[in-house]
Structure 1
Amino acid sequence: MKLWGGRFKEGESKLMEDFNSSLSFDKKLYKQDINGSMAHVKMLAKCGILKVEEKDQILKGLTSILGDIEAGKMKIEGDYEDIHSFVETNLISRVGEVGKKLHTARSRNDQVAVDLRLYAKEKAMDLIETMEELQKVIVKLGEENNVIMPGYTHLQRAQVVTFKYYIMAYYNMLERDKKRVKSAIEIMDESPLGCCALAGTTYNTDRSFTANELGFKKPVDNFMDGVSDRDFAIELIGDCSIIMMHLSRLSEELILWSSKEFDFIQISDAYSTGSSIMPQKKNPDAAELIRGKTGRVYGDLVSLLTTMKGIPLAYNKDMQEDKERFFDALDTVLACLKVMTGMLSTLKVKGKNTLKAVKKGFLNATEAADYLVNKGMAFRDAHRIIGEIVIYCEEQGKAIEDLTLEQLKKFSSLFAEDIYSFIDYENTLNRGIKKEIKQ
């Protein structure tokens, strides 16, 4: 059934019908659509536009449709243009002519806008909850593996850190991600229901009532903006893109660390795959897929930005293209967060290997330079001398702490016995990041 057929003499071509239909993807919004309709009907009765008995009949019909869908008794399929026509047509078949009054003082334009906002709010809360689960795993992984490892710049060993400190950097990234999503919820928390097609209605409706009924803090201020705004979807996909960027960076670390060249960690079999030809292979596919899906979410963001960039006010059919990209981005990031949570919860850290990498990387070189500075040498001179010592150590196959005091004095007479305790890695940590954590 078409909701708009009265103005047309000829029927829609089958090609256009299929091209125009959005039921295959906007059926995700069935719950939000029915809940929005229930709030709308209650408001119509409150304002005297519908009789109480009409309201009750319609609500009973909508409740039965929702129950049947969720129980699997009713499939969302068939010759319907969208989820709105599916619900309304089935309502009329259940409650009769009174069902046709559901759409009084409402347009599909404000209907889909409220559906999408309700869905966005729900999924945004899911994002926050899922990120918090990942954060709990990160904290536990760090607490159980407070071992020394190299920190890197330019992918070159730079300074000594702990695995706990390293992995907690991703905890902080997720903390910022949560703040962004919470901000997006705060901004989108306005109801467009009652805007109708673009300029409201001549009926005396109560938009504050429906806003409150649906859990919004207020109605939107401008009708035209209300029906044509998709900023909230773009912002949330933008937030998803940043989350995916963080997950992709962590995935890259896990891929590198699990290689035999690093051998810092072991990813469990549950999140790895093998090779069809090379029996020795254990591939970090979970991490690689997360890294790959990051580009997919970026594509969703660019797609929606491009769709919206040239649309005049108010609603245009182009905006039907918002949903598939929006749903895809949210589904993808939620799946990636859950996979990352599972992967980290089963991860094993090889503390002996991370310590070996520290010793091979001259990661106390900066501290050795600081030692000379503390003895009165200018930093640039100290930097040069330690650089010469590193060259010497590389030639001899030794670490700085392995050199004798006699060998060190060949480079500077300022070296004394206390150099060894000063460049000890544990002491270095106590003066640096551990001191910071305690403060």
Structure 2
Amino acid sequence: MTQPLWQKDGIKIDAKIMQFLAGNDVLLDREFFLHDITASKAHVEGLANIGVVGADEAAALKRELDALAEDFRSGAFVLDERHEDGHSAIEARLTERLGDAGRRVHTGRSRNDQILVATRLWLKEKLATLQTLCHDIAQVCLDRAAEPTLPLPGYTHLQRAVVSSTAMWFAGFAEGFTDNALRAQQTAVWIDANPLGTAAGYGVNLPLDRAHTTQALGFARMQVSPVYAQLSRGKFEMAVLESIASALLDLRRMAWDLSLFTTAEFNFVKLPAEYTTGSSIMPNKRNPDVIELLRASYASVAAARCEIEQLLSLPSGYQRDLQFSKGSLFHGVTHGLSALELVPDLLARFQWNEPAMRAAIEPSMYATDVAIEQAAAGVPFRDAYRAAAEAASAAGAGRTPESSLQARVSPGSGHDLKLDQVQQRLDAIRG
């Protein structure tokens, strides 16, 4: 390992302690490394603006930072255990190539600066991906809700309740994922603040050009208080995980439905073959493993959020405890997004089994229609309710699923899904 930036003469580094301190940090930093380089370029420009580095030095530093980014992408430079972390690797590379100019790059900033701004840029990128995925899922649901409607039993308590439809099922998730896209967008606005230039949490005795770094890095605003920059670490990460978890909560319920609907007992849905696997011992089996893992994915994101929350039992100012938040954040975000990435294609391609769905609609499922029709004719609803309950088995006489849905005229229900309103909201989010 290269000598740590904080190493003092005469103090021996214990290998086991160093390993505990570093952990997997340098490996995790691979995910944030390019953002760290981008922020370092903006920092160099800011230092040049206030005369701490000369124009020629700044140009050389930026050129070497670009070369390091290219080497990292190509594999010519590997971020590994030779370095304590990605931040140290950047400074070591610049010093190796440029000597004193490389040694000046850390002027006015802390590694806290570097991880905060690199993480913040990474989070913005991931929220943009989340928004796009939720938008795509909502759009597929809207498109399929507009297909010819098929009858589908509606359940409460997992008991057959009323007549529903495939269009209503898709419309529900379309609106849910529209809200999830909006939440991702709103979270992105909330965290879009530049922490670079807050140093270790108390500022520095230099007139750092924080307005420049804010603009250069594409942030909407400066995170003004150095103290709050430290307080926001973990808090902003949790907000992003909560946005992903919101989408995964809807995905969990969707996956539960599909898991049930693919069973022989329901037989409402046939999945694309790629979304099923075989049994290692039972030749007759095709298992909906992808659906089950999508259903389980919320747990990974919730666990990541919980771990970060537990780390935040801290006073103000930076504490090393926060290093452990990086692994949780990376795992939770990447797992959640990888799960959501599978959903648009799945929803677009699975097939409904119309005969099985029709066969599952029994006469008693029209009883609510009967009771409400009687109430609309002037019978007190509770009297109509009791009469319909007593004659539930005959409630379907002369009725069809289509007639039940056509009579469901309350806004958003079978006759009037108002898909155009959801589409307008979805389009406004992307716009």
State the TM-score, normalized to the length of structure 2: 0.91
Q: Which one-letter code corresponds to 1:340 in the other structure?
A: V
- Please name the residue that 2:5 is paired with: 4
- Please name the residue that 1:410 is paired with: none
- Verify the 8 A CA contact 2:155 2:162 in the aligned structure 1: yes
Find out whether 1:401 has 2:381 as its counterpart.
no
Q: Which one-letter code corresponds to 1:28 in the other structure?
A: E
Q: Which one-letter code corresponds to 2:352 in the other structure?
A: V
Shift of 1:314: 0.7
Find out whether 1:258 has 2:262 as its counterpart.
yes
* Cα distance in 1, alignment partners of residues 306 and 11 from structure 2: 38
Find out whether 1:298 has 2:275 as its counterpart.
no
Shift of 1:293: 2.1
Shift of 1:382: 2.1
Moved more, 168-177 or 99-108: 168-177
Q: Which one-letter code corresponds to 1:321 in the other structure?
A: F
Deviations 1:328-367 (A, max 9, x none): 1111111111122232222011122212212x25221111
* Cα distance in 2, alignment partners of residues 11 and 274 from structure 1: 56
- Please name the residue that 2:427 is paired with: none
Matched ranges for 1:179-194 at <5 A: 179-194=182-197
- Please name the residue that 1:88 is paired with: 91
* Cα distance in 2, alignment partners of residues 63 and 39 from structure 1: 12
Shift of 1:25: 0.9
- Verify the 8 A CA contact 1:45 1:55 in the aligned structure 2: yes
- Verify the 8 A CA contact 2:388 2:395 in the aligned structure 1: no
- Please name the residue that 1:14 is paired with: 15
- Please name the residue that 1:428 is paired with: 404
* Cα distance in 2, alignment partners of residues 330 and 202 from structure 1: 37
Moved more, 132-141 or 121-130: 132-141
Find out whether 1:131 has 2:165 as its counterpart.
no
* Cα distance in 2, alignment partners of residues 107 and 335 from structure 1: 33
Q: Which one-letter code corresponds to 2:416 in the other structure?
A: E
- Verify the 8 A CA contact 2:134 2:247 in the aligned structure 1: no
Moved more, 274-283 or 133-142: 133-142
* Cα distance in 2, alignment partners of residues 173 and 44 from structure 1: 46
Matched ranges for 1:242-253 at <5 A: 242-253=246-257
Instruction: Specify whether residues 400 and 38 from structure 1 end up closer, same or farther in structure 2 by C-alpha distance, changes over 3 A only.
Output: same
Shift of 1:8: 4.6
Residue identity over aligned pairs, in percent, reads: 28
1:203 match: secondary structure: coil
1:384 to 383, 386, 392: 386
Alignment coverage as a number of residue pairs: 411
- Please name the residue that 1:408 is paired with: none
Q: Which one-letter code corresponds to 2:10 in the other structure?
A: K
* Cα distance in 2, alignment partners of residues 380 and 135 from structure 1: 38
Shift of 1:39: 0.2
- Please name the residue that 1:28 is paired with: 31
- Please name the residue that 2:425 is paired with: none
Instruction: Specify whether residues 86 and 4 from structure 1 end up closer, same or farther in structure 2 by C-alpha distance, changes over 3 A only.
Output: closer
* Cα distance in 2, alignment partners of residues 295 and 75 from structure 1: 32
1:144 match: secondary structure: coil
* Cα distance in 1, alignment partners of residues 352 and 207 from structure 2: 65
Find out whether 1:229 has 2:232 as its counterpart.
yes
Instruction: Specify whether residues 93 and 4 from structure 1 end up closer, same or farther in structure 2 by C-alpha distance, changes over 3 A only.
Output: closer
Shift of 1:374: 4.1
2:416 match: secondary structure: helix
- Verify the 8 A CA contact 2:168 2:417 in the aligned structure 1: no
Instruction: Specify whether residues 366 and 17 from structure 1 end up closer, same or farther in structure 2 by C-alpha distance, changes over 3 A only.
Output: same
- Please name the residue that 2:350 is paired with: 347
- Verify the 8 A CA contact 1:220 1:226 in the aligned structure 2: yes
Q: Which one-letter code corresponds to 1:275 in the other structure?
A: S
What are structure 2's unaligned runs of at least 5 residues? Answer: 422-431
Bigger Rg, which one:
1
Runs of 4+, deviation exceeding 6 Å:
none
- Please name the residue that 1:280 is paired with: 284
2:83 match: secondary structure: coil
- Verify the 8 A CA contact 1:211 1:219 in the aligned structure 2: yes
Q: Which one-letter code corresponds to 2:346 in the other structure?
A: M
Instruction: Specify whether residues 188 and 401 from structure 1 end up closer, same or farther in structure 2 by C-alpha distance, changes over 3 A only.
Output: closer
Matched ranges for 1:64-79 at <5 A: 64-79=67-82
- Verify the 8 A CA contact 1:287 1:340 in the aligned structure 2: no
Moved more, 177-186 or 111-120: 177-186
- Please name the residue that 1:271 is paired with: 275
- Please name the residue that 2:372 is paired with: 370
- Verify the 8 A CA contact 1:27 1:82 in the aligned structure 2: no
Shift of 1:212: 0.8
1:80 match: secondary structure: coil
- Verify the 8 A CA contact 1:105 1:203 in the aligned structure 2: yes
Shift of 1:245: 1.2
* Cα distance in 1, alignment partners of residues 85 and 282 from structure 2: 49
RMSD, aligned α-carbons: 1.7
What are structure 1's unaligned runs of at least 5 residues? Answer: 394-398, 403-419
